Amino acid sequence: MALLTGFAVEDGDISSIDASRRLQVTHALWTDEPPVRDGDYPEFGVVGRNGVIHAWYGIGQSLVMFPADMVSSLLLGETMPDPASVKGRIKHAFIVYATFPLITAACVVFGFHLLLLLNFQPTAAATGTIGMLFGTTLLQWTQVNQENNLTLLCFLALLLFCLRWFLTGHLGNMIGAGAAAGFALLVRLPTIFETAFAGLFMAVLLFAFRDAHGKAKGRGNWLQAAGIFGAVFGLFVVAERLYQWVRFGSFTNTYIGAHQLQNPDFYVGGDWWRGVWTLLFSGYDSALWMDPGILLFALLLIFYFWRVSRDIKTLGFCLFALLLTLIAFYAPYPWPGGASGWGSRYTTTPAIMLGLLGFGLMAHLWPRMGKTAKIACGILTAYALAAQIGSLLFWSNLEQVQWAAWGREYFLVGQRWLNFATMLGGEFCERRLMVPEISERLLRVNFMPFHVYSQFGVRAGAVALAAWGMLLAGILGLLVAIWKTLTDNSRVS
């Protein structure tokens, strides 16, 4: 179901400028293309060794897109077709559909198994992962091809392998844990914070709750496990440092440091306290508004504290600490939320993870809840679904253009639904929501059939709409089947 959902919400194009620039690095890995497109510099890119202009991103997502890039070129018989041509559009669509829905599906699978290892019943684990899919920004970052879901997948894999080692004692799991943490480092350097808090979570399980895990077999060989993890993770650290040297001739600097040296004005203007306020409470950038699963988990933890297992509480506290650490780290940036995206791009991993725990815990505690608690959970869940469905309706740049034109911040989720309602009423100009910078692309509903209709005509659009409708019907059918299975299992138990 997660895979079908990924196919359904994709718009069929590389819908993020950052993703397109990472794809250019993919091209450079196996073709004669430069790492940065002609014309992107000096707006984007850093002059590196031998005068070559390099991207200042990590290489992780570029590596993930590598197989689809090669296969699509072989199928089309052309390595670099014009992006505006039919072949170019097909190539981009192939890369998108062969990469990002798979990442989302893997996140759902790993999330489900993680909840099972945390002793959630299958019904609660399934509810939690469905909630994560449809009620967190996991859905938005499936459509907008940033690296967010990839770093989330690495974090889920890290936790899953660590818990499997802890419960079984099999040291091979630590190879997977080290690889997950190491690859995350190749995607984005600040994922070192996520690795650190995963380590904190495991340290608490190992040394603070000795009487709570009589069946845990990993405690006896924790030193060996740490050595294996460190060795595997160290290989990725060396690879990342080598990539840094190849680009910028330094083993100790970071790509952000290299960019800052050449573009110091880019980082001027950030105020730490203002950034903290923005990431905590802003209606445009706060994770609390974009991922209300955070509030759901927090409320359940407060009011049902003694009914929540120590493992879940420990992981929850570590995730809240990670969220606050990322907020503190990114607060002094001129754009602490990441500028281009649906809310904050830099805090999504702990936000989505807390949503996973929140929806799972809601299902776990539901039979014991009072009427008021159920109503509160229902309201938060409904808002979460509305926020994520709204995030898909238009390209995220729509509200950014409006913000730039009006010169003021606003409540992003509400503005998105207001834009959609106004579009349905055909009064976009009359309601003063239109600004001169808004293009036809921004006003187009951001699903694949509507782009096909606009670019290739009525017939192609009708075929695409029929295929899309079948996908939606399949997803709805699977949801109904899962719901029936969950309700039947809850009645039996």
- Render 116-182 in DSSP notation, one character per residue: HHTT--HHHHHHHHHHHHHHSTTTHHHHS--SHHHHHHHHHHHHHHHHHHHHH--THHHHHHHHHHH
d(CA 442, CA 394): 7
d(CA 127, CA 473): 20
**Statement: residue 94 has pLDDT above 90:** yes
d(CA 350, CA 427): 39
d(CA 291, CA 384): 7
pLDDT tens-digit readout, 329-369: 999 888 788 767 788 889 999 999 999 999 999 999 999 99
Radius of gyration of the chain (CA): 23
- 304-310 long-range contacts, CB within 8 A, separation 24+: 304/361, 304/365, 304/368, 307/365, 307/368, 308/361, 309/118, 309/119, 310/209, 310/212
pTM of the model: 0.94
pLDDT of residue 195: 97
* Dihedral-angle region of residue 126 (phi above 0 means left; psi in -120 to 50 means alpha; beta otherwise): alpha
Structure-model confidence comparison of residues 228 and 14, the more confident one: 228
pLDDT tens-digit readout, 290-333: 999 999 999 999 999 999 999 999 999 999 999 999 999 999 88
Contact in structure between 34 and 28 (CB atoms under 8 Å)? yes
| Strand, helix or coil for residue 54 | strand
| Strand, helix or coil for residue 438 | coil
Least reliable range by pLDDT among 224-233, 263-272, 339-348, 436-445: 263-272
Q: Domain ranges in the chain? A: 117-393, 397-492
Between the alpha carbon of residue 167 and those of residues 77, 223, 310, 343, the distances in Å are 50, 15, 15, 37
Percent of the chain at pLDDT > 70 equals: 95
Confidence category of residue 154, pLDDT binned at 50, 70, 90: very high
**Statement: residue 489 has pLDDT above 70:** no
Q: Which helix (H) or strand (E) holds 47?
A: strand 46-47
Residues paired with residue 54 on neighbouring β-strands, in sequence order:
46
Phi, psi (rounded to 5 degrees) for 283: -70, -10
Q: What angle do CA 380, 382, 387 make, to 5 degrees?
A: 90
pLDDT tens-digit readout, 390-438: 999 998 888 888 888 887 778 999 999 988 888 887 766 656 677 777 7
Contact in structure between 421 and 427 (CB atoms under 8 Å)? no
| Strand, helix or coil for residue 263 | coil
Residue 53 is classified by DSSP as E
Amino acid at 139: L
d(CA 286, CA 276): 10
Residue 22 is classified by DSSP as H
Q: Which residues 6+ apart lie within 8 Å of 262 measured at CB?
A: 46, 47
Average pLDDT of the residues of the chain: 89
Residue 346 is classified by DSSP as S
Cis peptide before 42 (omega within 30 of 0): yes
| Strand, helix or coil for residue 7 | helix
Report DSSP letters for 295-344, one per residue. Answer: HHHHHHHHHTGGGS-HHHHHHHHHHHHHHHHHHHHHTTSSSTT-SSSSS-
- Rounded to 10 degrees, what is the CA torsion of 389, 390, 393, 396? -120
